[in-house]
A and B are shown apart, each in its own frame.
Chain A
Amino acid sequence: MKSPLFYGLLLITLGLLGWGTYQALVVAPPEATMGDAQRIFYYHVPAATAASILFWGNFLASVWYLWKRSPIADALAVAGAEVGVVFFGVVLVSGPIWARYAWGKFWVWDARLTTSLILWLLYVSYLVLRKSSEVGSTSVLAASMAILAALDMPIVYMSNRWFPTNHPQPMIGTPNLNPEMQKVLLWNMLAFTMFALLIAWFRYELERTSQQINALHVHKAAHGGMAMLLPLAFFLADDKLLREQAVQHRYMVIGYIAVWTIYIGYLLFLFSKLSKLKKEEAELRAV
């Protein structure tokens, strides 16, 4: 964790996050019908991109683990799944806030939304399995589960193919996306992907530390809980106001607050885990 590369990247990422958010809030042109509410887009899509990269990472690391039984692969798999679940949680929270404005409903059971929810559930069940399986068999069981989960995804997509969807299709590089908006989106994608990878790196180091502690004492296994912060509950004024700019603005603010609450909440959770591990390690070394 003392690597200067990490801190260098951290600085760059923080800069990029600031730049991306500035672009999203100030530079990007307002959308014709949704106004400010559409700015949630610049947080929603990048989180999905980052999460899919992390889930892929989890799959590859799991295959690697079953093949070589390397604890490094296992730590990578944990990091991929857990950080992926957090980022996908952001997708599932920011999406409905935007949808409440754009479609008038938080949630509809259409193809894209159902698929995303199942994807998220699959990886949550992966984390649940990791938490409750017996020490020693966790990594193997989890890796098998990860492979089945990854196999399930194309099937889920196929089963949803014949449903209609309200959700917009991918639009990068198509004329449907204003080039100005596309530029802002790409900045944010870069920023959030780097952010996700850095958190995953941090989580990986944590897992490695915890593995080393486990090796230090066999009986007291280190454990940590998955803390998912509930999105801020909020209530809406009457529908007459809904199309007004103030309301669009409110959706945007709520969306951004919810997203950052999740990211920061997860980071706080990781830091508390780190300090717990450090304390435990210090105690063990003292004895």
Chain B
Amino acid sequence: MKAGPATTGKGEKSMSITRLTWINVRKDLRLEWRSRDVLNSMLFFSLLVVVIFSFAFSPTVDESRRIAGGLVWIAFLFSMVMALNQSWARELRNGVLDAYRVSPAPAEALFLGKCLGNFIFVILLECLMAPLFMVFYNLSSVGPLWQLVVIALLGTWALVVNGTFFAAMSIRTRNRELMLPLLLLPISIPAVGSMVTATTQVLTGEGSPVMQMKFLAGFCVVFTTACFLLFGTVLNAE
């Protein structure tokens, strides 16, 4: 059983890691395109969070500027947890992980592919939800908008890379879906903190978020490297 999904394409003996990653991403995107269960549940969930928060706090314009940073990221973080659990649970059902373990393809390609796939889903979610947040909370940004885009890209990558790693870990535990937030949230607190601070700084125009952006970039570099190096160990843990 040499052929994992990664090598079904042409059955070549040696493929570059880039190509393998691309095959994984394409497979994830195609699966999602056909079922759409991840995106739909993420969208609906974050919509619910928006509605429930506004019922709970009914904020004024100034207040909502101040709390929106935290609110947006909490909504995205929680819906991301759903997507991440799904992304590995799917592979477990079809025995793909076992197939991958016996295939000669490097585990890093699988990890990178999953990360990129999840990154695309979450960015898509953010693009769709951001206008809704703006409408529901009467938000308008005081600071420059491009900074928000950079923060969103860096922050999402930070969460997705850790989340994909810990989802692969929690899928190996007894209470699968429950474990992911328990592992992911403590370790991502610094990233979430600086994302929220930076977003609030841009929205209210008080202070420059450049420091936080640099910090986020550093966080991404450190954890991408660490997760990349440790993923093979986790995949093959027996």
Contact = CB atoms under 8 A, between A and B. Distances in A.
A212 interface: no
Contacts of B186: 118, 121-122, 124-125
Interface in A173-216: none
Given A122-B187, A144-B233, A162 B194 contact: no
Interface residues of B, number: 29
A64 to B, nearest CB: 14
Contacts of A151: 222-223, 226
A132 B219 CA distance: 28
A159 B193 contact: yes
Interface string B171-188: 011110001001100110
A129 B173 contact: yes
A25 interface: no
B176 to A, nearest CB: 9
B238 interface: yes
B121 interface: no
A258 B59 CA distance: 41
Interface residues of A, number: 27
B102 interface: no
Interface string B221-238: 011001100100110011
B45 interface: no
Contact of A132 (B174, B222, B223, B238): B174
Most buried by B among A66, A118, A132, A151: A132
B182 A144 contact: no
A110 to B, nearest CB: 13
A147 B175 CA distance: 22
Contacts of A149: 187
B69 to A, nearest CB: 15
Given A134-B173, A140-B233, A148-B226, A125 B182 contact: yes
Nearest to B188: A152
Most buried by A among B179, B183, B186, B211: B186
Nearest to B169: A141
Contacts of A66: 233
Contacts of A129: 169-170, 173, 179, 182-183
B133 interface: no
A27 B78 CA distance: 53
B173 A147 contact: no
A144 B173 contact: no
B205 interface: no
A118 B226 contact: no
Interface string A122-138: 10110011001110110
Interface of B: 165, 169-170, 172-175, 179, 182-183, 186-187, 189-190, 193-194, 211, 215, 218-219, 222-223, 226-227, 230, 233-234, 237-238
